[in-house]
Amino acid sequence: MTETIKRKLSDSSAARWTAMLIVSFTMMCGYFITDVMSPLGDMLTRSVVDGGMGWTPTEYGWFSGAYSWLNIFLLMLLFGGIILDKMGVRFTGVMACGLMVGGALLKAYAVSPLFPEGGMLFGFKTQMWMAGLGFAIFGMGAEICGITVSKVIVKWFTGHELALALGLQVAMARLGTAAALFFSPRIAAAWGGISYPVFFGALALCIGLLAYLVYCVMDRRLDKSIAAAQGEEEEGFKLSDIKFVVTNKGFWLIALLCLMFYAGVFPFLKFAAQLMIYKYGVDPVMAGDIPAILPFGTILLTPLFGSLYDRIGKGATLMVVGAMMLVAVHVLFALPILNEWWFALIVMVLLGIAFSLVPSAMWPSVPKIIPQKQLGTAYALIFYVQNIGLMCVPMLIGWVIDRYAKFTLPDGNVSYDFTAPMWIFALFGIVAVALAFMLKAEDRRKGYGLEEANIRK
């Protein structure tokens, strides 16, 4: 008697890498918009007479944190995770892309000359509120898209090169961030307005949406091949899944590590260009270039560390080392030493290594702690916790800069001293180190396999 072994579409390496490239492209366009305003912080906060838009650092901090408003206050990330587990990656991904495009267009409109100037609401400019609302809608789409893309990759790569694939996806996302940091000030300077890079990003996102629609065709075929190979559909989401996830200590350690580590990186990027201008004397048009090194470095290193994790394991150790490097980096930025652009560049490279180590080990570790059927919910909850930091930290830093870091030079110009904000970022790193050690210990106790290789021999 002969038995036919049916292959799933994901067993074809060409098919799974194509799927990975398509969804990562969509995510990359999203990351471009996320940081498109980061190198323009100085332009936004300069006075109108100096050619800026006259926002205060506090307003800039609120706007930067707006990315997470809806995710946190309307629990949109949690609902997004439930929608993902219930409705699947096709519906959720398309919905998320639509939200990103809509939000990006609103944000671009708010900072364009079309938006009426001069209004105030609750002590802040209406322009900031409108741009923030656009960013909040965009952020809701971006985060839901993020968990969807993670689930897509886990779906195609479990039992194959999972960490490498997740690492490459993150690398492509970083390319979006790097492009935003590098090109955004140049587009704004060349075309004469802050709204142009945002409109450009919205256009790129429309192409990202089309790409995702192409992926949907592949996903349908994968589902058919899975049903044929396994003979049964995967069990759907149940509310008890949330309980299962939140009662797991390993899950909480990863979620809190994610909160603390990313609080020291993404919010830092929002202020990094200003740090370059005021501490390291970099020209404002080139102020995004040194921070752009960070994502560029991670483009090579995240897949490299991911592949290392796939082959030899040591995931928990990679997270400990990455968190320690984060502390070192922020301390070096805080200390009053070597205020030279080349030193900032070296420190940024170090941050790039840290920012490759932790994500390349953290994201592929989640499926080792939480089963695939609850993965959408687990990623959503982790992103939810992380978004608390993405919202509060820029607001805190903006306020600290307004209150303690701003001073007037003898010539009447305003300048900033970034020492206090950098110590705050270092503090997040210290807590991240403690959490990474606790995760490593928990792994030893529970045997999650975080120190083991991902590829099954």
Ligand X SMILES: NCCCC[C@H](N)C(=O)NCC(=O)O
The residue ranges that bind ligand X (CB under 6 A) are: 31, 34, 143, 146, 170, 173, 262, 266, 359, 383, 386
* d(C-alpha 261, C-alpha 182), whole Å: 24
Burial of 45 (0-12, 13-18, 19+ CB in 10 A): buried
Q: Which is nearer to ligand X, 366 or 450 (CB)?
A: 366
Instruction: Report the alpha-carbon distance of residue 198 to residue 318 in Å, rounded.
Output: 35
Identity of the residue, 32 or 237, whose beta carbon is nearer to ligand X in the bound complex: 32
Q: CB of 71: closest distance to ligand X in angstroms? A: 9
31 or 182: whose CB is closer to ligand X?
31
Residue 73 has a CB neighbour count (10 Å cut-off) of 10
184 and 111 Cβ atoms separated by less than 8 Å:
no
Query: Which CA distances in Å does 377 have to 1, 47, 69, 86, 251?
Result: 43, 44, 19, 10, 11
Cross-strand partners of 120: 125
Beta carbon nearer to ligand X, 196 or 262: 262
Q: Based on C-alpha coordinates, what's the Rg of the chain?
A: 22
Smallest gap from residue 4 Cβ to ligand X (A): 40
- The residue among 147 and 209 lying less far from ligand X, judged by its C-beta, is 147
CB of 144 to ligand X, least distance (A): 10
Terminal Cα-to-Cα distance of the chain (whole angstroms): 28
Q: Is 422 helix (H, G, I), strand (E, B) or coil?
A: helix
The smaller minimum CB distance to ligand X, of residues 143 and 443, is found at 143
Closer residue to ligand X (CB): 9 or 173: 173
| Min CB(92)–ligand X separation in Å | 15
CA 397 to chain centre: 18
Residue with tokens 């989640």: 366
DSSP state at residue 40: G
- Smallest gap from Cβ 2 to ligand X, in A, equals 46
* Residue 68 CB, nearest approach to ligand X (Å): 9
Q: What's 248's DSSP letter?
A: -
Tell me the closest approach of the beta carbon of residue 116 to ligand X, in angstroms: 29
